[in-house]
A and B are shown apart, each in its own frame.
Chain A
Amino acid sequence: MERRFASIAVLLLVLGYARANAHKPITSKYTFNQDVLPIFHGRCGTCHIDGGIAPMSLMTYRDAYPWAESIRSEILSGHMPPGDASGLVRHPASLSARELDTVLTWATGGTPEGAAPTGSAAPTVHSEWPLGPPDLTLTLPQVTLAAGELETTRVFVLRARSLAGRTIRAIDLLPGMPAIVRRAVVSVRSPAPPRDGSAHEPVIALWLPGADAARTPDGTAFALPEGSEIVARLSYKKTWKYENHEASDQSVLGVYLSDESARTIDRISLSAGPVTLEDDEDAIAVRVDVGRADVALTVHATLPDGSRTVIVSLATQPEWPRRFWLRRALSLPRGTRLEATLQGSDPADRDRTGIAVDVMPARRRAAVR
């Protein structure tokens, strides 16, 4: 017996690895560890991570491969990553054509694992300020979801006297328990009526898990007039992991201040229809918060010379109200017509509530006190 296995051992040296791998119909040349994980890490890792807001992590092969069919369906339909948009906006979570192809090839081609990376354990969510330490922090009250309570929304009104009359470049949120903090909308409730005559409170920050935190462009800021209040509306939602557990969060708002000569940012709401600008403005962002899903939305500007620019084009996702920052401020001369069009056969699809363009005056102006 021993002699026989000794000769087999010799043969092993000669033959090397046996045959092409036919153990699963693997047609994908991309493997998880080599090709797919870097994509998941870069595009999906803020939410689909242990302790993150998503119902499952995608950060290891064991976590990700059972979801291959779901992943295929969600990215093919464009539902994931959320906030895919084209036009002049920044969209860092958006998959490129090649990334889309890599993940689809892997998911439909047998989900091969590939050589496991050496060393590092699975990443977990980490809480740190993406824009660096804020100039001022405001700690919100603790919110507890009881066992069996799945979601809630709380509105906090903050009177920060030290901020009165200041200008703000960004407000960011650091969740205490990222797994349950779903959305935060931070707006300014000012004593004076808003510039464009709308009744809404101007939104300074629209925070989502995984969304791109950003300061306003250089030399611009949001105004916080004397007597204003900061209103933070937080939405909490549990995934299946925490359904029967009590879960508590204490989030912190971080405020990034600006110098006094910043240009203030105004919001032009398109909910009542197209708006024609009365002054020269620079468009810096578009906010989208619509109730209907999968409606093709385009926000465009028609300049006085007749030329038309598409600012943003996307399919609506009501679960993901979002502010899209433009890659570069867009100059819009006086007389430009801003419009949002929604394509849908159902009249309800064309409800424009919740579409706004953030602009700042093209000429420098003293900050509002």
Chain B
Amino acid sequence: MIAFLLAVVLQLPPLSWTCPMHPEVVEEAAGVCPICRMTLEPVRLDTIWSCPVHSVVGQRQPGRCPICRRDLVQVTMAITWSCPDDPTVRAEPTRCGDGSAAVERYAPRPHGNHNPQHGGAFFMAPDNWHHLEGAYPRAGIFRVYLYDDYSKPLARDEVRRATGRVLLNSQEVPFAANVDGAYLEAHIPPASFPLSLTAMVRFPTANEFRFDFSFTTYSDDAPSPTTAAPFTAPVTTAGTPTTTLVHELHERAARIASAVDRRAYSEIWVPALEAKDLALAVEARAASREGVSAAVKEIVRAAWMLDQWGDLGDAQQIADAHTRFTAAVAQLDVALR
């Protein structure tokens, strides 16, 4: 009760309960893990500014990393408090034995950080665990950095056990781990920008996955990472005529087509989700017309597929989803004629 009052007064994020073995399990009440039945532990999750490379950095406001000067990015972290004289980790701030305030600590969460760490393109692997970043630091050199579920670099011997190859202009170039085991590198024939290539990567203990990259410039290893535009729902008030909604839908379709063409896959999800909201608004107005509901359902399905595959960076899957999406929009146009 006291802890609750304290939490309310100090505006702490609410308590979550997580499994020590399965950090992806996050529940709202104490209990046991649905996967392994271990007792859940309390944790508070919040958005913290951290360095994309040095996750030990954490602070409440934006700024620059004190270690490498990169711009800080927002990541989800777990907050705890502890005192130097008492090893107990607490979910509330307290006073330490000497009267000083307990120290706030931030711990990363799995999938809390999808920011590139070497200026390249960052993807999640379809096994829902690994992450990967592809970078083109200078002509003829393509590198792939491998990460775990916390976006931490895989251990050297793991990187050395990973295999893969680059597919470029119907040529195949194998990867080799560099001396440090810090990344996999392939020496590709220099080509002009925009440079598109496909990497087939097999993580240790996983299948081979496909990732497609497109570079318009060399990857800068210490850039200021751009933050994605916040997702804002398009205005769909009752007064908006159907023709306007359809026009907006086509505008989003054009943006998606452009992103797919340029292989800028991180730019797909916002217009895709906006497009399906526009289509749903059209259905609300025109459901009685033959074929509208079926077309809108297909648009919704294809938009969510684009959102999913855009996150994984597989050009073939994205192309298939995009074909479905384009056909569905055409289907809606026919139904509304």
Interface string of A62-75 (1 = CB under 8 A from B): 10001001000000
Partner of A66, one of B9, B34, B44, B297: B34
Contact A12 B5, CB 8 Å, known A19-B13, A97-B293: yes
Contact A97 B279, CB 8 Å, known A22-B46, A76-B304: yes
B192 within 8 Å of A by Cβ?
no
Chain B residues, CB < 8 A from A9: 5
Are A18 and B5 in contact, CB atoms less than 8 angstroms apart? no
Are A97 and B283 in contact, CB atoms less than 8 angstroms apart? yes
Are A8 and B28 in contact, CB atoms less than 8 angstroms apart? no
Are B11 and A19 in contact, CB atoms less than 8 angstroms apart? yes
Contact A113 B8, CB 8 Å, known A22-B46, A23-B13, A97-B296: no
Q: Tell me the complex Cα distance, A97–B8, Å.
A: 40
Partner of A12, one of B8, B15, B308: B8
Q: Count chain A residues whose beta carbon lies closer than 8 angstroms to a beta carbon of B.
A: 30
B26 within 8 Å of A by Cβ?
yes
A101 within 8 Å of B by Cβ?
yes
Q: How far is the CB of A19 from chain B (nearest CB, A)?
A: 5
Partner of A23, one of B44, B294, B307, B308: B44
Beta-carbon nearest neighbor of A63 in chain B: B34
Chain A residues, CB < 8 A from B28: 23, 113
Interface string of A100-112 (1 = CB under 8 A from B): 1100100010000
A15 within 8 Å of B by Cβ?
yes
Are B276 and A101 in contact, CB atoms less than 8 angstroms apart? yes
Are B34 and A8 in contact, CB atoms less than 8 angstroms apart? no
Are B283 and A98 in contact, CB atoms less than 8 angstroms apart? yes
B238 within 8 Å of A by Cβ?
no
Are B304 and A104 in contact, CB atoms less than 8 angstroms apart? yes
Q: Tell me the complex Cα distance, A174–B98, Å.
A: 72
Q: Tell me the complex Cα distance, A11–B11, Å.
A: 12
Q: Tell me the complex Cα distance, A86–B6, Å.
A: 56
B2 within 8 Å of A by Cβ?
yes
Beta-carbon nearest neighbor of A73 in chain B: B308
Chain A residues, CB < 8 A from B15: 23
Q: Tell me the complex Cα distance, A191–B5, Å.
A: 81
Chain B residues, CB < 8 A from A108: 304, 307
Name A6-27 residues within 8 Å CB distance of B: 8-9, 11-12, 15, 17-19, 21-25, 27
Name B280-297 residues within 8 Å CB distance of A: 280, 283, 293-294, 296-297
Chain B residues, CB < 8 A from A113: 28
B83 within 8 Å of A by Cβ?
no
Q: Tell me the complex Cα distance, A8–B308, Å.
A: 46
Are B301 and A100 in contact, CB atoms less than 8 angstroms apart? yes
Q: How far is the CB of B6 from chain A (nearest CB, A)?
A: 7
Q: Tell me the complex Cα distance, A152–B66, Å.
A: 67
Are A5 and B47 in contact, CB atoms less than 8 angstroms apart? no
Q: Tell me the complex Cα distance, A62–B35, Å.
A: 12
Chain B residues, CB < 8 A from A5: 2, 5
Chain B residues, CB < 8 A from A23: 13-16, 26, 28, 44-46
Are B11 and A18 in contact, CB atoms less than 8 angstroms apart? yes
Partner of B45, one of A22, A27, A62, A69: A22
Q: Tell me the complex Cα distance, A61–B120, Å.
A: 39
Are B293 and A96 in contact, CB atoms less than 8 angstroms apart? yes
Q: Tell me the complex Cα distance, A96–B279, Å.
A: 13
Central interface residue in A5, A18, A27, by most chain B CB within 10 Å: A18
B319 within 8 Å of A by Cβ?
no
Chain A residues, CB < 8 A from B13: 19, 21-23
Chain A residues, CB < 8 A from B283: 97-98
| Contact sample, A vs B, 15 pairs, CB 8 Å cutoff | A8-B9, A12-B8, A12-B9, A15-B9, A18-B11, A18-B12, A22-B45, A22-B46, A24-B16, A24-B26, A24-B45, A97-B280, A97-B297, A98-B283, A101-B280
- List chain A positions with a Cβ less than 8 A from chain B: 5, 8-9, 11-12, 15, 17-19, 21-25, 27, 62, 66, 69, 76, 78, 86, 95-98, 100-101, 104, 108, 113
- List chain B positions with a Cβ less than 8 A from chain A: 2, 5-9, 11-16, 26, 28, 34-35, 44-47, 76, 128, 231, 276, 279-280, 283, 293-294, 296-297, 299-301, 304-305, 307-308
A-B contact sample (17 more), CB < 8 A, given A23-B16, A23-B44, A108-B304: A8-B6, A12-B5, A15-B8, A17-B8, A18-B11, A19-B13, A22-B46, A23-B28, A24-B45, A66-B35, A69-B128, A76-B301, A97-B297, A101-B276, A101-B304, A104-B304, A108-B307
- Give 7 nearest A-B pairs by CB, closest first: A97-B297, A97-B296, A23-B16, A18-B11, A23-B45, A97-B300, A66-B34
